[in-house]
Amino acid sequence: MTTNSDSGEIDFVHTGPGTIAGKYLRRFWQPVFVSAQLQTGYAVPIRIMGEDFTLYRGASGAAYVVDFRCAHRGTQLSVGWVEEDCLRCFYHGWKYDGSGQCVEQPAEDAAFAAKVKIRSCPTHEFLGLIFAYFGDGAAPPFPDYPELSEQGEIDVGSYIRHCNYFGTLENGIDQVHVPFTHAKSGFTKFGLNWDIPVISAGETDYGIAMYGTRTDGKARINHYLMPNILYIKGSPESAREGWREAFAWRVPVDDVSHRSFNIALIHVSGDAAERFRERQRRQEEIVANLPSSNEMAARVLAGQISVHDIEERPDIVNIQDHVAQEGQGAIADRVNERLGRSDVAIILMRQIWQRELAALAAGQALKQWSRPEKLVATSGV
Ligand code: FES
Ligand SMILES: [Fe+2]
């Protein structure tokens, strides 16, 4: 069993094939790509939990995840051609269907293709994200997210952060960082109750309910759904828009980077929805013409610029989180840290992971996570 350094604890940080945390995460559907970024007839390489795959969208519109390399002599399949719902290799033209079955080898006898099959993984598209299942055996049913089916606009996004995924899981239930890391941000403009919250957290049927109670008695309630989903009432980006219901999946790319996939529901309709879309388009345009948030975070951490000088950027919240978490190192040191009372939610999250990974490693029963009909997150404002 792999452990976290000399702490003797089970390793929830490394997620490559064969690791215990990797086996655990692979038991759940994981988002891998933003639907709108994959056009019909195109293939892209993707890396998830230290493994490379090819993602492509066939003529039918369906998305497929198959092996990264061709079974023949191993070239990268994403550079080939999408033909109907199949993928043809760029090198010598072997063709695979979406199940990974080789269906044509132009320079070989017809009988050979039937004997060649590459790996494939089930996929499912949901509200603008492509999910895949990387575990053994049949995929579990795709979970329901009724919170996202209410009236409003759906906003889908994704970003990469250059540190281990577990740091962002911890950050999602760390309300104390907000008044400091995001001291100057959209949160300030839209009236987040600014005193330091008193944190409490409890294990639930789905993961963790986390409460940050302010001096006026109001609590911000976030939910963490095992194994890697945050559900919060997130900050609005315009005063008229209201707070947004936001789900975020934190998916390891490898052990030192991860990608967040986000779906938010914004409660606007009619003219307000149109204004929201317009403002969204303008912001995307502004950000597209600026150096990337990852680049800005790297420059801040290298001491070339100060994060306090770029607080007017529309993506400042993301940059602030990049800086705080990448500032912990690619893999945070959990042996020499000094946890306090305000870290109770993080401690609970680690205990749950330790317990479940220990059970998985020992071949014992795992907790079967289930969720109530509707989760309610609150902003505390
Ligand atoms: S390497 Fe793919 S067909 Fe030869
Ligand atoms: Fe943050």
Q: What span, in angstroms and rounded, lies between the C-alpha atoms of 209 and 27?
A: 22
Of 274 and 226, more confident: 226
Q: Is 352:166 a contact under the CB 8 Å cutoff?
A: no
Q: What span, in angstroms and rounded, lies between the C-alpha atoms of 90 and 312?
A: 46
Q: How far is CA 196 from the centre of its chain?
A: 27
Judged by average pLDDT, the poorest of 2-16, 56-70, 72-86, 361-375 is: 2-16
Ligand 1 center to 109 CA (angstroms)? 15
Ligand 1 center to 68 CA (angstroms)? 12
Distances (CA, A) of 7 to 3, 108, 334, 340: 7, 55, 9, 18
CATH number for the domain whose boundaries are 29-132: 2.102.10.10
pLDDT of residue 108: 98
Ligand 1 center to 100 CA (angstroms)? 14
Query: Domain segments of the chain: what residues?
Result: 29-132, 146-361
Q: Rg of the Cα trace of the chain?
A: 22
Does 3.30.70 match the CATH number of domain 146-361?
no
Whether 261 lines ligand 1, by a CB cut-off of 6 Å, is no
Q: How far is CA 233 from the centre of its chain?
A: 17
Relative to the CA of 105, which ligand 1 atom is closest? 3
Nearest CA to ligand 1 atom 1: 73
Whether 77 lines ligand 1, by a CB cut-off of 6 Å, is no
What is the mean predicted confidence (pLDDT) over 45-49? 98
- 160-169 pLDDT per residue, tens: 999 999 999 9
- 190-248 pLDDT per residue, tens: 666 568 899 999 999 999 999 999 888 989 899 999 999 999 987 776 656 777 889 99
Q: Is 55:43 a contact under the CB 8 Å cutoff?
A: yes
Which two structure tokens, joined as six digits, stand for 151?
A: 């009236």
Whether 96 lines ligand 1, by a CB cut-off of 6 Å, is no
Distances (CA, A) of 167 to 158, 161, 183: 17, 10, 20
Nearest ligand to residue 180 Cα: 2
* Reported confidence tier of residue 378, pLDDT bands at 50, 70, 90: confident
Whether 73 lines ligand 1, by a CB cut-off of 6 Å, is yes
Judged by average pLDDT, the poorest of 47-61, 138-152, 191-205, 280-294 is: 191-205
Share of the chain above pLDDT 90, in %: 79
Whether 94 lines ligand 1, by a CB cut-off of 6 Å, is yes
What is the mean predicted confidence (pLDDT) over 134-145? 95
Q: Whole-model pTM?
A: 0.95
Whether 248 lines ligand 1, by a CB cut-off of 6 Å, is no
What is the mean predicted confidence (pLDDT) over 299-303? 98
